[in-house]
Amino acid sequence: MQTFNVKTRNFTYPVVIGNGAWRTLRKFPFRKYTSIFVITERGLWNRWGKLFLEESGLSAVTTLLVAPGERSKSLRVLERLSGQLLKQGADRRSCLALFGGGVVGDLGAFLASVYMRGIDCIHVPTTILAQVDSSVGGKTAVNLGEMKNLIGTFHPGRMVVSDFRVLSSLGHWDFRSGLYEVVKHAILGGPALCQQLEASLPRLQLKDREALEAVLPPAVKVKVDVVNRDERERNLRMTLNLGHTFGHALEEATGYRRFLHGEAVGWGLLAIAQLGERLRLLAPEEGTRIARLVQRLGPLPSIRDISTARILRLLPQDKKTVGGKIQWVIPERIGKVRVVSDVPRRAVAAAFQDIQEMDPSLWAPA
Ligand SMILES: NC(=O)c1ccc[n+]([C@@H]2O[C@H](COP(=O)([O-])OP(=O)(O)OC[C@H]3O[C@@H](n4cnc5c(N)ncnc54)[C@H](O)[C@@H]3O)[C@@H](O)[C@H]2O)c1
Ligand SMILES: [Zn+2]
């Protein structure tokens, strides 16, 4: 188990990750709150709620349920939850425990940031993505129709506790999807973390706890370090967008139905490595190493039928666009990326065509 501290403007909070992390909540000052509300999903809470309460030492909690899935990140659900909080007596000194993946975390933290102008929350992330990424850094959001994360706030949790045991019930695809984000963090983190990931992959795929312990804490540390240096997304935080510019375009081009988010990021990482090579920013051996890491997670859904023109049209809609210019996060080598804004369209098109020519059915899982 490891603990990392994240500094915000007003306070510092611990991110505890590893087997037994929930037990560290026993030291959390719950006593200073008038009531604790758990925001979660029914299936998840049925499976893990009892153990969570035992380990954390919490007893009198009220659970508020949201339906699984991205659609719950909406103003409608936010309104319903606010009403439920009010009805059940939540006041300014209530605390929300956000028990779930990135959907529960983003929605619940947004709710905490606006309910009575802001109450405290803690994150209890239950997916890989939520453990290594979304629970840390304080970004909250809901979607507006198809516009992902359009409405949101900054509202960091007071503590993040990521226990690995909860990952054991994740479905194969959700588990694997989260690993693409771990690959992203490894590329940002540097050769040592990449090597660790390469060595752990076969056992990681089996949700082996030791393999998780070897890889997830250093992966979340990459995020912690970035957030500590740049809380409100000036430049550095943008680097976390690696692989996501192409990834978001692919998700949009397929109406969010074909890929799990991580799978789209997997393709996005392959594309950005190609783009880096084409711009001569990234050495071919490094590009190959990045591609190999992605491919070892196994086959990805095909992208053969998606036209390059459509992807090019969708790219500038990325939220990270500034003044109409896409901010490309391009690896220069493993452990170093550069943000480039003037990339020629034909290089982008060529990089996308490069990955379209890859045959994902040949990628056997490690
Ligand atoms: N705030 C940020 O900085 C940030 C960063 C990255 C992503 N996000 C957001 O995170 C969201 C995606 O998060 P996610 O991938 O965790 O998705 P998710 O919360 O939808 O969880 C994925 C699936 O796993 C299920 N699940 C969750 N935990 C489980 C467990 N332990 N066992 C079995 N099933 C479980 C859920 O019901 C869901 O079906 C997106 O909305 C994205 O915008 C936010
Ligand atoms: Zn992502």
For CA atoms 298, 304, 308, 309, the dihedral sign is negative
For residue 343, report the phi and psi dihedrals to the nearest 5 degrees: -105, 130
CA nearest to 294, candidates 264, 252, 339: 264
For residue 25, report the phi and psi dihedrals to the nearest 5 degrees: -65, -15
> Which class does domain 172-362 fall in?
mainly alpha
- Three-state DSSP at 208 gives coil
Residue 325 carries which DSSP code?
B
Tokens coding 1: 């188990």
Atom 5 of ligand 1, residue of closest alpha carbon:
134
User: Which of 41, 66, 106, 180 has the most ligand 1 atoms within 8 A of CB, as the residue to mutate?
Assistant: 106
Write down the pLDDT at residue 340: 95
Write down the pLDDT at residue 4: 98
Q: Output the ligand 1 site: residues, CB below 6 A.
A: 41, 44, 68, 70, 73, 100-104, 106, 126-127, 129-130, 133-134, 137, 139, 148-149, 166-167, 169-170, 174, 261
Place of tokens 């076969």: 202
Tokens coding 259: 């890929």
CA nearest to 94, candidates 78, 82, 77: 82
- Three-state DSSP at 184 gives helix
Write down the pLDDT at residue 317: 67
Indicate the CATH number for domain 2-169.
3.40.50.1970
Higher-scoring residue by pLDDT: 139, 230: 139
Q: 2-169 and 172-362: same fold? A: no
Kindly list the domain boundaries of the chain, sorted by start residue: 2-169, 172-362
CA dist 244 and 181 (Å) reads 10
pTM for this prediction: 0.95
* Ligand 1 closest atom vs CA 140: 1
CA 294 to chain centre: 17
CA of 160 to the centre of ligand 2 (A): 19
The yes-or-no verdict on residue 90 having pLDDT over 70 is yes
User: Which of 77, 132, 134 has the most ligand 1 atoms within 8 A of CB, as the residue to mutate?
Assistant: 134
